[in-house]
Structure 1
Amino acid sequence: MIEAELKARVHDPEAVMRRLEDRAPARAEVYRDTYYDRPDGSLDKADQELRVRTVHGADATRTVLTFKDAAVDEMSGSKPEYETAVADAEAAHAIVRGLGHVPVIAFEKRCRNYDFEARGRRMLATLVRVPEIDGTFLELETLAAEDEVAAAVDDIRAVLGELGIGAQDLTRETYTGAVAAQRVCPRT
């Protein structure tokens, strides 16, 4: 399956949050993400990602190992995603490192997640703040077969419009890139 997703900068987070809360209850979580690559950077060069994410929620902590393959839709950046839960975060990191991968960047995301159905699809909306980056972002995603990614992205775009997010707000900026840039040239 492909994770069809669009990401936007949010200019009025409170208004978007109200619209989302009309659709579903919020789930506040903190993600601690570590991205890995091969020493030669070949995953990044191939537009692939390998991540260990530990999610701290109100009731539980869980860790997932994720591999994202190269984008199948250039406009949205939607990618095939393979994810599995792991029982032990430290073991997951040790396995990935033991296979020769090196940590490239690690950072925290503060998220409010909303699961709901729209346009006949299960969707996940995530309001995101990354302490090292200015602003609030909204990620809206759904799973789709490769031959229906374009239709899924159209559905996502329509739901974003209902949430007050326009085409001018969309971004392909990555958190990893923005955090890395911030660490090289910190805000003054």
Structure 2
Amino acid sequence: MIEAELKARVHAPEAVMRQLDERTAARVEVYRDTYYDRPDGSLEKGDQELRVRTVHGVDSTRTVLTYKGAAVDEDSGSKPEHETQVADAEEAHAILRGLGHVEVIAFEKRCRNYAFEARGRQMLATLVRVPEIDGTFLEVETLVDEDDVPAALADIRAVLAELGLGPEDLTRELYTDAVRAQRT
């Protein structure tokens, strides 16, 4: 499946949060993301991602291993995504290191997740703050087959417009790049 996704900088986060709260209840979570690559950096060079994400919620903690392939849509950066929950975060890290992968960056994301249906699609809108980066971001995504990516992105743009976000607010900047820039 392809994760059709758009990310926008949010200039009025309280207003967007109120609108999303009217749609559905939020799931407040803190993500601890650790990205891995091969020692030669070939995953990043190939526009691929390998990540271990530990999600700390109000009532539980879970860890997810994710691989994202190269973008299938250059304008949005939408990518094929393969994800599975793992029972033990430390074992997942140990397996990746044992296979020769190296940690390239780790950071925290503070998220308010909103799952809802719009335009006949299951969508997830996530308000994101990364403590090391200025600003608030909104990610809106849905999982689709590759041939449905353009239509899904149009539906996501419509949801963003309903929330007061337009094309000028969209960004392809990666959190990993922004955090790296802050740390140097």
TM-score when scaled to structure 1? 0.98
Q: Any idea what the Cα deviations from partners look like across 1:27-51, whole Å, max 9, x if unmatched? A: 1000000000000000000000000
- Structure 2 residue aligned with 1:73: 73
1:178 aligns to what? 178
Q: What is the DSSP-based 3-state SS (H/G/I as helix, E as strand, rest coil) of the residue aligned with 1:22? A: helix
For 1:76 and 1:22, the matched residues in 2 are separated by: 27
| 3-state SS, counterpart of residue 47 of structure 1 | coil
Q: Which residue of 2 aligns with 1:45?
A: 45
| Structure 1 counterpart of 2:158 | 158
Render the CA deviation track for 1:63-112: whole Å, top value 9, x for unaligned. Answer: 00000000000000000000000000000000010000000000000000
The alpha-carbon deviation at position 153 of structure 1 amounts to: 0.3
Residue correspondence of structure 1 range 134-149 to structure 2 within 5 A: 134-149=134-149
**Alignment correspondent of 1:57:** 57
Kindly provide the CA deviation profile for residues 99-151 of structure 1, in whole angstroms up to 9, marking residues without a partner as x. 00000000000000000000000000000000000000000000110001000
Instruction: Measure, in 2, the Cα distance between the counterparts of 1:86 and 1:42.
Output: 25
Counterpart code for 1:91: E
Structure 2 counterpart of 1:149, one-letter code: V
**Residue type matched to 1:143 in 2?**
L
TM-score by length of structure 2 reads: 1.00
Superposed counterparts of 1:17-32, under 5 Å = 17-32=17-32
Structure 2 distance, partners of 1:42, 1:31, is 25
Which amino acid is the alignment partner of residue 86 of structure 1?
A: V
SS in 2 for 1:152: helix
Q: 1:91 is matched with which residue?
A: 91
- Cα deviation, residue 22, structure 1: 0.9
Which amino acid in the other structure matches residue 172 of structure 1? Answer: R
Residue 117 of structure 1 aligns with which residue? Answer: 117
Identical pairs, percent: 80
State the alpha-carbon separation in 1 of the partners of residues 143 and 156 from structure 2: 11
Whole-angstrom distance in 2 between the partners of 1:168 and 1:140? 16
Q: Secondary structure at the match of 2:39?
A: coil
Aligned length: 184
Instruction: Tell me how large the CA RMSD over aligned residues is.
Output: 0.3
Displacement over 4 Å in runs of 4+: none
| Partner Cα distance (2:120, 2:105) in 1 | 36
Kindly state the Cα deviation for residue 166 of structure 1 after the two structures are TM-superposed: 0.7
